[in-house]
A and B are shown apart, each in its own frame.
Chain A
């Protein structure tokens, strides 16, 4: 039934658009006094309505020959101009003017060609009406913001999405979301909106801006289908990266400290005074750096070991546990005391070529809580080899306590989440073979320590620079 009411027309068109399936087409043929205009509407990959239009005047359609000269030809030209596919897709005929004979004639022909078509009567301008309807189309997909979450098991970053607008949302809808942004590299942090269809997300839009790392309260507003505006951030600009590029920019670790850790620093305090001082200062650097990155997630232990005495009348200094599982501050205080004391166990009857490394390992093995899943990083700073458990070709005297460094190292390596690192007086190719085990994860030479690189290799922090392409979901709210 023809209906002149503009509002009714809008509703009818909106309903037809809402019913439009992902693969379907909706054709609107507007018949006016001067000619026909066809609007072809469909949904794009993200479910957003898209439209195109073609217009033709009567003169365009019949040319020189005039409206009535060849009625069959004119009819055919009119039907062709409607562009409506004959078989599939819904067709709506909109009559704009009433009473014009050509228009009425054309409408009749079109009705005959599309017998199932709705016929509406409406006031111009129809193009504006179609645009309004399209802009007001409720979402046919959920819109979601791409965010990074730390995997609770591994602590590794994982991509996920946080819903901004559910199915059916209309323009004007707003959602607030709290995110943390990290240093993000040259393109900045990308605010990517995806729609979900099937197993894979589909990128709808991506805008980015270099942001000062920190927490942001972001408001997302649905402007119209396919367009989301973010406020609460500096101005965003289009990001040239496609979805694959963005995903591949995701690092395999999160920046900054990776989580709680127990740093066990063991320092050889025998030998030349300046060397002992340098070892202690390296330990200080690493402890300070790790504590700066991890804050109170870091526990620190500090051990000092020297040389064995081989004269029973000169009892040796045992391995000293200067701090155990304390905070960094307390451990650094203990380090002050070690620095104050300086080198120990020099000269006869202390062995000059090896140290109580194996005793130190035994203490660590005994002291570590084997049920505690917190990663433990055992960092040894020294230079001498350990004593063998028994006389061997090295001719180093055996450990008086018969500790076997190989067995102790194997034990430590078996412990879940235990990482072994070392700072050795000698370069790696000159270090005693034991140091390659003691520094299995990282072996740095004393004279040149890249503290961040070492901490990263030991898993205390992520390698620098880590760029996080997407915001991290802040779940603390």
Chain B
């Protein structure tokens, strides 16, 4: 954890949430690339030197070094600002938007080791440090969750095929969070005050893409020069449900129930996300159903690498959605 440079900057606190290896850190690392690949005017800047360095380092490692981030060991907080295009005549976010200056969304991102979301009863993969129930990092994570109003929840269908522990990594912190919210009187309508962006990660994996294809959930954005297949937010929930069917534990559908129990339906949105996206041949510059995997597996003791250019899918969208929703609800809170 880094010291919090409290400079009175209004940030919306957003927490990344997901089992170990579900792709939290990679998602953040891909954010800059994702923004540059968009042809709207959104950009991201670090709000402090450490956060800027992180953006630069991760972007380089990912796009040039073609390496994935290491499994996280500590809780990291990054302060970024999403700077959007100048709003047009009517305010982008309704009455609170002021025409003229570009929209800015301050993000304070918390990226924790996935193991901290576990039940604390058994060691979870990806974390070597002690992370039992008494782990101070666990407390800190909960503090942050309590303070934040936006959650990016990462559901890793590949992990779910093999371990089936997404529910375990969601349920424990969720009930704790509910406890705290209840105690602080913020559990008013029986729901948490948070917005949650549920990202079905690794959409680029053939098993995930194939599931979406079989369910006819794929669309292609006509403006997309690469013609990458994607799943609209409206259909992402169905993809999520479909992927739950093949969960190794059969508990995945409980994730859906828990989401509905704890979050207001308006505050849940699903995304079919891929941080690295599909492989696109540099000459044809078109998505190719015959050859779209963008990962090169590593030798036995090495990690996988990224094969070609990154074409992040639904990496910016959850952040923008959260940022816009949070900004619309109330002015950003000061970071304590």
Contacts and interface: CB of A to CB of B under 8 A. Distances in A.
A353 B206 contact: no
A101 interface: no
A398 B290 contact: yes
Looking at chain A's contact residues, the main secondary structure is loop
A310 B302 contact: no
Contacts of B297: 351-353
Main secondary structure of the interface of B (DSSP, over half): loop
B291 interface: yes
Contacts of A175: none
A311 interface: yes
Contact of A398 (B291, B298, B300, B302): B291
Interface string A386-405: 00011111010110001000
Interface in A190-240: none
A168 interface: no
Contacts of B66: 311, 348
Contact of B307 (A310, A353, A393, A395): A310
A312 interface: yes
Contacts of A392: 206
A182 B205 CA distance: 63
Interface in B288-308: 289-293, 296-300, 302, 305, 307
B298 A352 contact: yes
B299 A397 contact: no
B282 interface: yes
A310 B296 contact: yes
B299 A352 contact: yes
Given A391-B206, A393-B206, A348 B296 contact: yes
B225 to A, nearest CB: 19
Nearest to B281: A312
Contacts of B291: 390-391, 397-398, 402
Determine the interface band of chain A, counting residues with CB < 8 A from chain B.
Answer: 10 to 19
A445 interface: no
Interface in A352-372: 352-353
A347 interface: yes
A349 B296 contact: yes
A51 to B, nearest CB: 89
A347 to B, nearest CB: 7
B166 to A, nearest CB: 21
Nearest to B292: A391
B298 A391 contact: no
Contacts of A349: 296, 305, 307
B176 to A, nearest CB: 37
A457 B261 CA distance: 67
Nearest to B296: A310
A391 B204 CA distance: 12
A115 to B, nearest CB: 104
A15 B307 CA distance: 100
A352 B296 CA distance: 9
Contacts of A312: 282
A352 B292 CA distance: 18
A348 B305 CA distance: 8
Given A311-B307, A391-B290, A397-B296, 17 more contacts: A348-B66, A351-B297, A352-B297, A353-B297, A390-B289, A391-B206, A391-B291, A391-B292, A391-B293, A392-B206, A393-B206, A393-B210, A395-B205, A395-B206, A397-B291, A398-B290, A402-B290
The 10 lowest CB-CB distance pairs between A and B, nearest first, are A390-B290, A352-B299, A398-B291, A310-B296, A310-B307, A391-B206, A348-B305, A397-B293, A395-B206, A353-B297
7 contacts: A347-B302, A348-B298, A352-B302, A391-B291, A391-B292, A393-B210, A395-B206
